[in-house]
Amino acid sequence: MSWKLYLPDGTPLPHDQCPMAVALKEGRPVRGVEAIAERPDGTRVPFIPFPTPLFDASGRVTGAINMLVDLSERKQAETQQRLLLNELNHRTKNNMQMLQGLLYTPARSARSEEARRVLDDACSRIAAMAAAQRVLYGITDATSFAADEFLGAVVETIQQTLPARIKITRTQATSALSNDIAMPLALILNELLTNAAKHGISDPAADSIRVSLVEHDGQFELHIEDDGPGFDLNAVRQTSSGLRLILGLARQLHAEFTVSRLPSRATLRFGASRGP
C-alpha cells in the first residue's frame, strides 16, 4: 500500500511499523489496532486491519492476508452522538443552574429556619447531581465513568457548599463504575458529607472528614469518616430525612449501608452496576 498511514491521534505511522509489517515480522495475527490511511487526494479513512500471517509446512512465514474494515460511518456516527450529548449536557446544565437559582432566592429570604434548611438541602443535592452529570457527559464511554474523576468532582462541589474551615480529604479511587450508579451515589455522598460536616466536626482546626472509595473483587466500598461521636443507625432511622434518603438510594443500588463508631464511619458496599 502506497497510501500514507497515521495513528488515530494523527501521528505518522511508518510502513515498517504498520500492523501488516508487524504480522509478517513477528509471525502472529495483529488485532485491536486502529489506523488512518490517507488517499492520494488527501482524504483520510479510519480503519481496523486484520493481518494474518500464512505459513508453509515447515512453519516459515510465506506471506499474509489482510482485511481492512472502514470505520468512516462509525466515526461519523460517534461524532454526531458526541454533538448530541454535548447539546444535552448544555441544556441539562442550564436547567440545573436555573433550578438552583429558583431555590437559592427563596432560601435566602425565608423567615422560617425550617424552610431555609429544606431549601438549602435541596440546593446542595442539585449541586451534587450537577457535578455527577458533568462527569458523565465529559466522557467518551457510553456505559461507565472513572471512579476517581467522579469522586473528585462531587467532593469538590460539596466542599464549596460547606464552611471554608471544614476540610474534606480523599484517597485516590481506581476502576470504573456503571453510569446508572452516578446520580444515586452523588446524592448519597452529599448526604453523608453534609451530615459529617454538621455533626462530626467539633474543632475545624484539628478535625477533618475523610472519603475513600475502594474496590475488592468487583465490589466497592465507599467510606466517610469523621472525628465525631457517630450515631446509632436504628435510633435515628425514623427521625432523619437525610438518612431515609440514603437508605432508599442504597436499596436502588442493591447496596449495604452500615455505620460504626471509633472511628465514626459510614460505609456503603455496592457492585459496579445497579445489579438485577
| pLDDT confidence of residue 127 | 85
Cis peptide before 263 (omega within 30 of 0): yes
Q: What is the C-alpha separation between 215 and 207, in angstroms, rounded?
A: 26
| pLDDT confidence of residue 251 | 93
Q: Is the model's pLDDT at 141 over the cut of 80?
A: no
Q: What is the C-alpha separation between 62 and 52, in angstroms, rounded?
A: 11
Residue with cell 443507625: 233
**Mean pLDDT highest for which of 74-78, 91-95, 120-124?**
120-124
| pLDDT confidence of residue 89 | 65
Q: What is the C-alpha separation between 200 and 194, in angstroms, rounded?
A: 10
pLDDT confidence tier of residue 225, bands split at 50, 70 and 90:
very high
What's the angle, vertex CA 157, arms to CA 141 and CA 197, rounded to 5?
Answer: 130
| pLDDT confidence of residue 274 | 64
Residue with cell 446508572: 180
| pLDDT confidence of residue 144 | 81
How confident is the model over 77-112, as pLDDT tens digits?
776 766 776 666 667 667 777 777 777 776 777 777
How confident is the model over 8-54, as pLDDT tens digits?
888 999 989 999 999 999 999 999 899 999 988 888 889 999 999 99
Q: What is the pTM of this model?
A: 0.63
Q: What is the C-alpha separation between 185 and 171, in angstroms, rounded?
A: 17
Residues in CB range of 210: below 8 A, 6 or more apart = 168, 169, 170, 171, 223, 224, 225, 226
Q: What is the C-alpha separation between 30 and 67, in angstroms, rounded?
A: 11
Distance of CA 78 to the CA centre of its chain: 20
What kind and span of H or E run contains 9?
Answer: none
**Mean pLDDT highest for which of 78-92, 124-138, 156-170, 233-247?**
156-170
Rounded mean pLDDT of the chain? Answer: 85
DSSP state of 25: H
Q: What is the longest distance spanned by two Cα atoms in the chain?
A: 90
| pLDDT confidence of residue 85 | 66
What kind and span of H or E run contains 248?
Answer: helix 241-252
Q: What is the C-alpha separation between 272 and 32, in angstroms, rounded?
A: 25
